[in-house]
Structure 1
Amino acid sequence: MRRALALVMLLALGALVVAGCGSSEDSGGEGGGSGRFEAAGTLPEGLAGRAAPRMVLTDARSEQPLDTATLRGRPYLVTFLFTNCPDVCPLIGQELRQSLEELGPQAREVAVVAVSVDPRHDTAEAVRTWLRRQRQPENFHYLIGSEQQLAPAWRAFYAAPQVAGNPDSAHTAVVWLIDAQGRLAGKISAGQAFDPAALAADLRTLLSERDDR
């Protein structure tokens, strides 16, 4: 029953964005702007408002476990990256950094969680080098682990991992928005460039909803 439900959810997502590591072309997705959000699209019924999957993985920066349950109380973003990606992942990283910069002081009230899709090459050292090159702030968390440790996160967020040893393989390019109550709120198809200012506006919306409660 659980597997059947997961399949239904996956189909409900429609065209999940899959971007080759050598291309930033968007192969589909819901598009930005849902009325509530400027950048993120509306999630299908059954996903919207559902509790975001909990992840407990190693934060490469500190090499200590990060439990996403500890982020409850502030909005955060979830995306999937790998350090050897030549184009799409650096683009997503820069767009997310710029979104945080657009928030100004409010950026301290949100977080970014990137999950590795290449456990073989995304070592703590490689990720820290990537974070430095990307000039990512302290609240940009890049989670790593073994394939066995990461696979549940990939499945929970419908993410396709990078195929080891195949530079032409594809990985899922997407940014999920999680609200301050830890619920799935929206999704951006990130195979093509998106507007960091629009994502910053979406995060302000989530912050305002938190403050209204």
Structure 2
Amino acid sequence: MLAVLGALTLAACSHHDTPWQLTNVTGHLPDLQFSLTADDGKPVTGDSFKGRASLVYFGYTHCPDVCPETMGRLMQVLDKLGPEARQVRILFITVDPARDTAQALRDYVGAFDAQHARGLTGSDDQIESLAKRYRVAYQMEKRDPKGNYEVTHSSAVYVFDAQGRARLLATDRDSPDTIAQDLRRIIETHS
């Protein structure tokens, strides 16, 4: 009996000693704190999303390639999580608030997954301040009066636990399997 208990204790400990596959940013990035406007037009804060793990991605709806590819990868992650996906929220924060209205964001994230994804926008100052907070780089091309311009931006996905603490950073080099595996650990640790 003691041998079994010892083995179980060892197994439980070894899970925590296993290194993360994603980049561990615990203690290196601030908690999930912001005041923005959700895709339903209502004000939200970081606290609005506590209780579930959050995958935070900075992008924009007119993005021709990286944003839809990243959102597609995040949909694969949710598929791999199965029922545990209910404990995850994707927050798509625009870096192009001039074009990305609440409705545009709602349509965009809804095309991927209206159940798990929320679009967030704000003023230029709010977005710029939040991007600096999480070290997100983005740069607007010269704005065309017709609205035809691109925004160069970093493509990392920030993983926050259910308490809103920054935990991991996923890049486009991380597979959906890798992200799902580490995310599952975050969910299990805080459920």
Please give the TM-score of this superposition, normalised by the length of structure 1: 0.71
The one-character-per-residue Cα deviations of 1:12-66 (angstroms, maximum 9, x if unpaired) are xxxxxxxxxxxxxxxxxxxxxxx5333x1123x850xx54140121111x21122
Aligned equivalents of 1:46, 1:131: Cα separation in 2: 30
2:39 maps to 1:56: no
* AA partner of residue 137 (structure 1): A
Please, which of 179, 185, 190 is the counterpart of residue 205 of structure 1? 185
Does the CA contact (< 8 Å) of 1:113 and 1:141 recur in 2? yes
For residues 94-173 of structure 1, what are the structure 2 equivalents within 5 Å? 94-133=72-111, 135-165=112-142, 167=149, 170-173=152-155
Q: CA 1:102 to 1:177, structure 2 compared with 1: closer, same or farther past 3 Å? A: same
1:137/1:197 CA distance change after superposition, 3 Å: farther
3-state SS in 1 of match to 2:168: strand
| Alignment length (residue pairs) | 170
SS in 1 for 2:83: helix
Q: Cα–Cα, structure 1 residues 170 and 56, in superposed 2: closer, same or farther, change >3 Å?
A: same
Hey, what does 1:27 align to over in structure 2?
A: none
Contact residue 175 and residue 187 of structure 1 kept, 8 A = yes
Are the structure 2 counterparts of residues 46 and 197 from structure 1 closer, same or farther at C-alpha, using a change threshold of 3 Å? closer
Q: Determine helix, strand or coil for the equivalent of 1:158.
A: coil
1:103–1:200 contact (8 Å) kept in structure 2: yes
Q: Which ranges of structure 1 fall in alignment gaps of 5 or more residues? A: 1-34
SS of equivalent to 1:86: coil
Q: Which residue of 1 aligns with 2:15?
A: none
> For the residues of structure 2 that align with 1:147 and 1:96, how far apart are their CA atoms?
26
Give TM-score scaled by structure 2 length: 0.79
More helix by share: 2
After TM superposition, which residue ranges in structure 1, 4 or more long, deviate above 6 angstroms? none
Q: Which runs of 5+ in 2 are unaligned?
A: 1-17, 144-148
Q: What's 2:13 paired with?
A: none
Q: Separation in 2 of the partners of 1:72 and 1:65?
A: 15
- Number of the residue aligned with 1:8: none
Letter in 2 for 1:56: S
Paired residues of 1:51 and 1:182 also in contact (CA < 8 A):
no
Greater gyration radius: 2
